[in-house]
Amino acid sequence: MSKYIIRGGAPLFGSVTVSGAKNAAVAIIPAAVITDAPCRIENVPDIADVAVFFNILRRMGAQVRDAGDGTYEIDASGISAPVATSGDMQKIRASYYLIGALLARFGRADVAMPGGCNFGAPRQIDLHIKGLSAMGASIDVKNGVITATTQGRLHGASVFLDAPSVGATINIMLAASTADGTTVIENAAREPHVVDLASFLSLMGAEIYGAGTNTIRIHGKNSLRGGSHSIITDQLEAGSFMAAAAATGGRIEINNVIPKHLECISGKLCEMGVSVWESGDSSVVVEGTEKLRSVDVTATPYPGFPTDMQPQASVLLCLADGTSTVTDNIFDTRFKYVDELLKMGASIKVAGRTAIVKGVSALTGAQLKAGDLRAGAALVIAGLCARGTTEIEGVHYIERGYENMIGKLRALGADITGVSDTAEAESTAV
Ligand code: EPU
């Protein structure tokens, strides 16, 4: 799609089913490259980042078969060289997990620098390099290609991460799965997708302890076998629907969730006056309130409030009674979406890592541009609760990480339409 058109004001009602987690999928897909045995992955979300990753693997020589219903079979036995330098590499962030995965299989990786959402400042990979170097890899970055080499196998090492980086934790886990000896990651990321990757690697024969805590131990094996795994459901897609229900003052049931993963989000929504309760083992119900209350939100690593939900939280606080703050302790420049919300009549000032949000009585539809994935989701939520019509461009960012967002929202009663690139080209031609 090239843009979304939203006529705001309809409260969301009904039920929605959450898809597999993007950030788990993009860690588990490269893990399948570590082995030359087939792997089967279920609950794979139908999103652009996954499609790009599958293209990357196919170009490297792997077979990726769509077995239907979100299940894919990956056979990486046809990959004969540890080289991933196709243009697709720069379309996503997680392509850099091929460094760890290829090192684990071949003892070498030639991998193009990653792309992914740009929050304003370049996203570093120094912690990845630090961890892999401690395990014996020599790493060189030249002309946009990261070359990692090792004499024989990597060796286990003790790695302290200066920040609990999700990406560095995952890359080190992948590499350590076939290293000689034990790798210990201290100050590791604890996000649900890190735990999901550990589950998949364990099925493949790796021995991993402590995933989900800040110390992860990986006892390397000579090689890994194939495995079959179902990806966890997406905490951030669920959270985005929770925010959409709250913003529109509706009531929705969100199915196929892991309620524990949502506690960091529901806690803040409840402080705002939203009602959230569990319904059975894998559903939550979210009911909006007449007037949201102002709160202070601070995005921190899991189990804290996710940075990937802070733009959506800001939209809610635009409509709250009083003044709130939204602080991002993960990324220092993740507030580009604020300029778009200002066009809708929001009152927000950004000071360093904090946005000061003064509640207004309503947002008004406007012409907006999504600058990254979660910013895009936030703008959709703003459009859903705004008076009048909102048009959002740059929606390819949204489609990187949300499966069928338009269809799911329409089923909940939202008035949202996607304009396809072709339709727009045709209307321009006329
Ligand atoms: N950092 C460094 N050096 C590094 C790596 C990270 O300084 O080598 C810093 C970053 O600059 C940032 C902080 O550490 O300030 C955290 O970065 P992290 O490595 O945890 O983030 P990431 O792995 O690049 C993943 C998700 C992001 C999510 C963050 C934080 C994937 C593919 N991406 O990114 O997801 O925001 O963790 O939870 O898993 C999204 O889904 O929209 C998204 C951006």
pLDDT in tens, 82-113: 999 999 999 999 999 999 999 999 999 999 99
pLDDT of residue 423: 65
Please list, in sequence order, all residues whose beta carbon lies within 8 angstroms of the beta carbon of residue 13, skipping any fewer than 6 positions away. 250, 251, 252, 412, 413
Q: Is the CB of 165 under 6 A from ligand 1?
A: yes
How many angstroms does the Cα of residue 28 sit away from the middle of ligand 1?
A: 16
Q: Is the CB of 81 under 6 A from ligand 1?
A: no
Q: Is the CB of 190 under 6 A from ligand 1?
A: no
Confidence band, pLDDT 50/70/90 cuts, at residue 124: confident
Task: Give the residue, by CA position, lying nearest to ligand 1 atom 39.
Answer: 23
Confidence band, pLDDT 50/70/90 cuts, at residue 4: very high
pLDDT of residue 148: 97
How many angstroms does the Cα of residue 167 sit away from the middle of ligand 1?
A: 6
CA gap 91, 37 in Å, rounded: 27
Q: What is the best residue among 47, 56, 123 to mutate for testing ligand 1's pocket, by most ligand atoms within 8 Å of CB?
A: 123
pLDDT of residue 120: 67
Confidence band, pLDDT 50/70/90 cuts, at residue 430: very low
Task: Give the residue, by CA position, lying nearest to ligand 1 atom 19.
Answer: 165
- Span 262-278, average pLDDT: 97
Task: Give the residue, by CA position, lying nearest to ligand 1 atom 16.
Answer: 165
Q: Is the CB of 373 under 6 A from ligand 1?
A: yes
Residue pLDDT, tens place only, 368-408: 999 999 999 999 999 999 999 999 999 999 999 999 999 99
Q: Can 3-19+233-429 and 22-230 be said to share one CATH topology? A: yes
Residue pLDDT, tens place only, 174-225: 999 999 999 999 999 999 999 999 999 999 999 999 999 999 999 999 999 9
Q: Is the CB of 380 under 6 A from ligand 1?
A: no
How many angstroms does the Cα of residue 430 sit away from the middle of ligand 1?
A: 44
For the chain, how far is it from start to end, CA to CA, in angstroms?
19
Task: Give the residue, by CA position, lying nearest to ligand 1 atom 28.
Answer: 308
Please list, in sequence order, all residues whose beta carbon lies within 8 angstroms of the beta carbon of residue 348, skipping any fewer than 6 positions away. 314, 318, 338, 341, 342, 355, 356, 357, 358
CATH number assigned to the domain with residue range 22-230, chosen from the 4 options 3.40.1160.10, 3.65.10.10, 3.40.190.10, 3.40.50.300: 3.65.10.10
Residue 104 near residue 114, CB atoms below 8 Å:
no
**Residue 70 in tokens:** 């979100």
Q: Which atom of ligand 1 is nearest the CA belonging to 129?
A: 8
Residue 349 near residue 322, CB atoms below 8 Å:
no
Q: Is the CB of 163 under 6 A from ligand 1?
A: yes
pLDDT of residue 429: 40
Bridge partners of 72, per DSSP, are 41, 66
pLDDT of residue 390: 98
pLDDT of residue 311: 98
pLDDT of residue 214: 97
Q: Is the CB of 330 under 6 A from ligand 1?
A: yes
Q: Is the CB of 126 under 6 A from ligand 1?
A: yes
The half-sphere exposure of 108 on its side-chain side, counting CA atoms within 13 A, is 9
CA gap 343, 360 in Å, rounded: 13
Confidence band, pLDDT 50/70/90 cuts, at residue 426: very low
Q: Which residues are catalytic?
A: 117
Q: Is the CB of 50 under 6 A from ligand 1?
A: no
Confidence band, pLDDT 50/70/90 cuts, at residue 115: confident
> Helix, strand, coil % (nearest 5) of the chain?
35, 30, 35
Q: Is the CB of 333 under 6 A from ligand 1?
A: no
Residue 372 near residue 392, CB atoms below 8 Å:
no
Q: Considering the chain, what is the average pLDDT of its residues?
A: 95
Percent of the chain exceeding pLDDT 90 equals 93
**What is residue 297's three-state secondary structure?**
strand
Q: Which atom of ligand 1 is nearest the CA belonging to 373?
A: 42
How many angstroms does the Cα of residue 165 sit away from the middle of ligand 1?
A: 6
CA gap 81, 45 in Å, rounded: 28
pLDDT of residue 427: 43
Confidence band, pLDDT 50/70/90 cuts, at residue 363: very high
Q: Which atom of ligand 1 is nearest the CA belonging to 92?
A: 32
Strands 71-75 and 63-68 turn out to be: antiparallel
Residue pLDDT, tens place only, 43-95: 999 999 999 999 999 999 999 999 999 999 999 999 999 999 999 999 999 99
pLDDT of residue 424: 59
CATH number assigned to the domain with residue range 3-19+233-429, chosen from the 4 options 1.10.268.10, 3.65.10.10, 3.90.1170.50, 3.40.50.2020: 3.65.10.10
pLDDT of residue 295: 98
What ranges do the domains of the chain cover? 3-19+233-429, 22-230
How many angstroms does the Cα of residue 80 sit away from the middle of ligand 1?
A: 30
Residue pLDDT, tens place only, 31-41: 999 999 999 99
